[in-house]
Amino acid sequence: MRVFITGGTTGIGLELAKLYLKDGHDVAVCGRDLSKLSSDVSSHPRIRCYQVDVRVRAEVLMAVRDFSELGLDLMIANAGRSVGGKTKTPNFEAAIDVMNVNVMGFLHTFEAALAYMLPVGKGHLVGIASVAGMVGLPGASSYSASKSAVIKFCESLSLDLAHRGIKVTTIVPGFVDTPLTRKNDHSMPFLMSVEQGAARIKRAIEAKKVVYIFPLPMKIVMTLLEIMPRFLYRRLMALPMFNYSK
């Protein structure tokens, strides 16, 4: 199997790359800074590494084209960023960057993959979203909005491509210990290690799940918040325990 992972130099993407390499698959990773890759990964005989900024459509298309000459079976759109700390005052410069990476970068990735999957009528697209996309979290407007876009785009695409032989999986994790989440200055309930998170994601992909939300306690909490009448949700989020001073 041939696997391409964006944002594959650190965190969940890197751990997934290690797992697929261990299983003997051909893997490509891309990231803005390839120096973050450990030598044991970058020198692996079955890996190809591309320095790519997913915000730049041409760079994504070129890297995927280069790797996919021999085919592409699985594309994992994992590249993403957040703003870290919560704030009541919108930071539009940071919000624009979050949207460019998490939404436009995601679209560039799926576009590049489908150019090779649609002609052969097979393949698997995976979007890494977040439970933050299930509701509009206070202090995290751009991140919640960007991950909601990933969730809804994948949901629509799973319906549109079902008859074309292409599977679409939406991964909706809670807090996973990565360089991204370490920037957070708020509590992270049900935090799990990146190794645990990547292993669960890989199993969900292999099972071809349409949507996979984890861990279970976070799934329960966020699903209840998602289906809650919005006036009740707003009242709940106004409680002191969810408040912050910034």
pLDDT digit string (tens) for 117-135?
Answer: 999 999 999 999 999 999 9
Residue with tokens 């994948």: 154
Res. 198: pLDDT tops 90? yes
* Sign for the pseudo-dihedral over CA of 212, 218, 224, 226: negative
The number of angstroms, rounded, from the C-alpha of 207 to the middle of its chain's C-alpha atoms is: 18
Rounded CA separation 94/73 (Å): 34
Q: In the structure encoding, which two tokens stand for residue 30, read together?
A: 């891309």
Band (pLDDT 50/70/90 cuts) for residue 243 is low
Res. 227: pLDDT tops 80? yes
pLDDT digit string (tens) for 140-183?
999 999 999 999 999 999 999 999 999 999 999 999 988 767 76
Res. 87: pLDDT tops 80? no
DSSP 112: H
CATH 3.50.30.50 for domain 2-242, yes or no, is no
Contact between residue 90 and residue 143 where contact means Cβ atoms under 8 Å apart: no
Dump the DSSP string for 137-162: -TT-HHHHHHHHHHHHHHHHHHHHSG
**Among the listed ranges 22-36, 66-80, 182-196, which one has the minimum average pLDDT value?**
182-196
Catalytic one among 20, 143, 233, 244?
143
Q: Judge whether 116 counts as a catalytic residue.
A: no
pLDDT digit string (tens) for 12-53?
999 999 999 999 999 999 999 999 998 889 999 999 999 999
Res. 246: pLDDT tops 70? no
Band (pLDDT 50/70/90 cuts) for residue 244 is low
